[in-house]
Amino acid sequence: MRGTKDIDPLSLAMRPPADETSAERVEREAREREAKIISAEIDAEIEMDRKQKKYDDSVKVLLLGQSESGKSTTLKQFQLIFSAKEFENERISWKLIIQLNLVRTVRIILEQLSSLTTTRPIPFEDNKLSRTIHPLSHLNSSGMNGSTSSLGISSQSSGRSSDSDLPSTSASITPSRSSHPMSFNSPVSPVQRSPTTPFSIPFPPPVLPVSPTEMPKLGDHHRTLRMRLLPLVHLESSLLRRLNPSEEDEATQRSAHWSTSGRELFVRSSVNWKEKVARLRNGTFDVRDSFADVDDDDGFVDFDNPDDPNNVIQTCKEDMLALWHDPVVRQVLRMGNVRLEEMPGFFLDDIERIASPSYIPSDDDILKARLKTVGVSEYEYTLMMSGQPTKWRFYDVGGSRTQRAAWQPYFTHVDALIFLAPISAFDQCLAEDWRVNRLEDSLLLFKSICKSELLKDVDIILFLNKIDILKAKLDSGIKVSKYVKSYGERPNEYEAVSKFFRNKFAAVYREYTPKSSKKLFYVHMTKVTATDAMRGILSSVCDAILRSNLQLQGLA
């Protein structure tokens, strides 16, 4: 026991009076709480100020766009093309992410198979983005008629997407649906979400009506495969917990509603995930110890440990291949309209390579890997531009709806922004809200960015991204006019479709950019995963930003 004389005099002075009444205590505690909040706000302001001052001499670029639009992938390309050594140093860190991407896809298949053996719909959140939306079948199945606004947007396909999650403090960047530039067919019917019955959330129905006799039959070997692949599912949840222990972000909250294995791998801006991955690689893996804190892993590589991801994946290799090539499994996926190949982080066609003990991720693997961003990550690179070293600072934001409130503080001190809109997503819905068409969300988001007074003089580079997926969809016969009413009778071909989308975004820019704006606007059709094509695009983007910067400073 410490005596009174050992107590710090400051703590003594801060102690509540001995005769404090309970009413006084409540009042004091409320005062202290408020003071704490104010103090945290001041700290945040000081930190932001510090960052602005510190990086004033660098060219600052903000990457914006909805989740999965390709922001972090664009950043990887910048690093690969202009800062190759750093990219090389981080190569090995991506191995675990790629392994986790692979395992996630296997888990999705297993969950789909479960749907055949259980009466309740599977908690299958992960593939929402790769499921198409089926306006007609859904309207039929629900009996809900999606009324269409005067602009052709159904009431379910709400623009709330952007209304609700853009920074609420700035009216100028809050999008409004009242003058929508494109008209979309109703994507899906409103779903009845009940917090107490999470499994009652319906999924988009299969393409064809399925009678019980048409249901694919699972045999004993499917059940055996499932059992044999369970270590992968355990490995995934164990590693996710270790990489993001006690996270309370949306992914975790959703997982509580869905299933522990439903979490998507994400990186929080404040966490150096590469360091964490390195520690996991150097520590021992023990699935049974999955709740242990990462900090406890100070051991060495245990090559004999059966819980090591390399070992688990290698052991399950043949079963993964058997599952992926099984005709019944393919039929189940088709019926559920699950297009795994279009999902980010799809590595099932690379099992042999990834399961090899000597596997090192290739450049393409790293660009394909999916790691969701939460918060705002900052990266500083010295890029060699026309033989001159130039300091660049990139801000890579999380694009999902709950993340967008964090964008606004960065609007006031960037030189340019790259906005990514995945135009392949015309037939998809947001992971965050099934009622919202992803392309519609992108357009509304872009509109709010154009309108923003804070971004009035910030150059905008628009990447209409994922053109490879767009081409594949058109080639497979998916009709744009089925999802975008205003597309009408135009040819369902890449040239016509891409021109149509490009014109729509350009029209939004022209209509909503403040008249007094001095900003420049460039549009590129991109597949940001393609390094050769991006080399030229990123060079010209950097040149344009630099030129514009010099002009602004009166140096050009």
Ligand X SMILES: Nc1nc2c(ncn2[C@@H]2O[C@H](COP(=O)(O)OP(=O)(O)OP(=O)(O)O)[C@@H](O)[C@H]2O)c(=O)[nH]1
Q: Is 367 in the site for ligand X (CB under 6 A)?
A: yes
Nearer to ligand X, 132 or 185 (CB): 132
Nearer to Mg ion, 76 or 226 (CB): 76
Instruction: Give the separation between CA 359 and CA 361, rounded to whole angstroms.
Output: 6
Question: In this chain, which of 77, 158, 377, 529 binds ligand X, going by CB under 6 A?
Answer: 529
Token output for 524: 């590129």
Least gap, CB of 189 to Mg ion (angstroms): 30
| Contacts by 376-382, CB closer than 8 A, 24 or more apart | 376/269, 376/406, 376/407, 376/410, 377/267, 377/269, 378/51, 378/269, 379/75, 379/79, 380/55, 380/58, 381/78, 381/79, 381/82, 381/83, 381/86, 382/83
Element (H, E) at 463: strand 459-465
The answer to whether the Cα torsion of 270, 259, 242, 379 is positive or negative is negative
Stretch near Mg ion under the rule CB under 5 A, chosen from 290-298, 368-376, 403-411, 470-478: 368-376
Instruction: Residue 464: name the closest of 515, 401, 506 by CA.
Output: 506
Size of the site for Mg ion (CB under 5 A): 3
148 contact partners, CB below 8 Å, separation of at least 6: 154, 155, 183, 186
Token output for 152: 């052709």
467 is in an annotated binding site: yes
Instruction: Residue 461: name the closest of 532, 364, 378, 528 by CA.
Output: 528
φ/ψ (deg, to 5) at 125: -85, -25
Question: In this chain, which of 66, 72, 101, 513 binds Mg ion, going by CB under 5 A?
Answer: 72
The answer to whether the Cα torsion of 36, 39, 43, 48 is positive or negative is positive
Angular region, 503: left φ>0, alpha ψ -120 to 50, beta rest: alpha
Residue type, 461: I
Instruction: Give the separation between CA 136 and CA 139, rounded to whole angstroms.
Output: 5
Least gap, CB of 367 to ligand X (angstroms): 6
Residue 127 binding target from Mg ion, ligand X, none, CB below 5 to 8 Å by type: none
Stretch near Mg ion under the rule CB under 5 A, chosen from 72-80, 171-179, 222-230, 279-287: 72-80
Q: Which of residues 393-412 bind ligand X (CB under 6 A)?
A: 398-400
Instruction: Give the separation between CA 228 and CA 541, rounded to whole angstroms.
Output: 49
Least gap, CB of 468 to ligand X (angstroms): 5
Least gap, CB of 219 to Mg ion (angstroms): 40
CA 492, 498, 499: angle at the middle one, nearest 5? Answer: 105
Nearer to ligand X, 249 or 308 (CB): 249
Instruction: Give the separation between CA 157 and CA 160, rounded to whole angstroms.
Output: 9
What is the DSSP secondary structure assignment for residue 437, as one 8-state letter?
B
Nearer to ligand X, 69 or 112 (CB): 69
Q: Is 361 in the site for ligand X (CB under 6 A)?
A: no
Q: Is 377 in the site for Mg ion (CB under 5 A)?
A: no
Residue 466 binding target from ligand X, Mg ion, none, CB below 5 to 8 Å by type: ligand X
DSSP 114-135: HHHH-SSPP---GGGGGBPP-H
Stretch near ligand X under the rule CB under 6 A, chosen from 115-123, 434-442, 490-498, 525-533: 525-533
Q: Is 373 in the site for Mg ion (CB under 5 A)?
A: yes
468 is in an annotated binding site: yes
Nearer to ligand X, 71 or 438 (CB): 71
Q: Is 376 in the site for ligand X (CB under 6 A)?
A: no
Residue 442 binding target from Mg ion, ligand X, none, CB below 5 to 8 Å by type: none
465 is in an annotated binding site: yes
Nearer to Mg ion, 252 or 284 (CB): 252
369 is in an annotated binding site: yes
Size of the site for ligand X (CB under 6 A): 25
**Edge-to-edge, what's the strand order for the sheet holding 376-385?**
376-385, 388-397, 59-64, 416-422, 459-465, 521-525
Residues in contact with ligand X, shown as a per-residue x/- string from 453 to 482 under the rule CB under 6 A? ------------xx-xx-------------
Instruction: Give the separation between CA 224 and CA 322, rounded to whole angstroms.
Output: 11
473 is in an annotated binding site: no
Q: Is 70 in the site for ligand X (CB under 6 A)?
A: yes
Least gap, CB of 426 to ligand X (angstroms): 15
Q: Which of residues 42-71 bind Mg ion (CB under 5 A)?
A: 71
372 is in an annotated binding site: yes
Nearer to Mg ion, 73 or 158 (CB): 73
Footprint of ligand X on this chain (CB under 6 A)? 65, 67-73, 344-345, 367-368, 370, 372-373, 398-400, 465-466, 468-469, 527-529
Question: Annotated binding residues for Mg(2+), as ranges?
Answer: 373
Question: Annotated binding residues, as ranges?
Answer: 367-373, 465-468
Footprint of Mg ion on this chain (CB under 5 A)? 71-72, 373
Question: Annotated binding residues for GTP, as ranges?
Answer: 367-373, 465-468
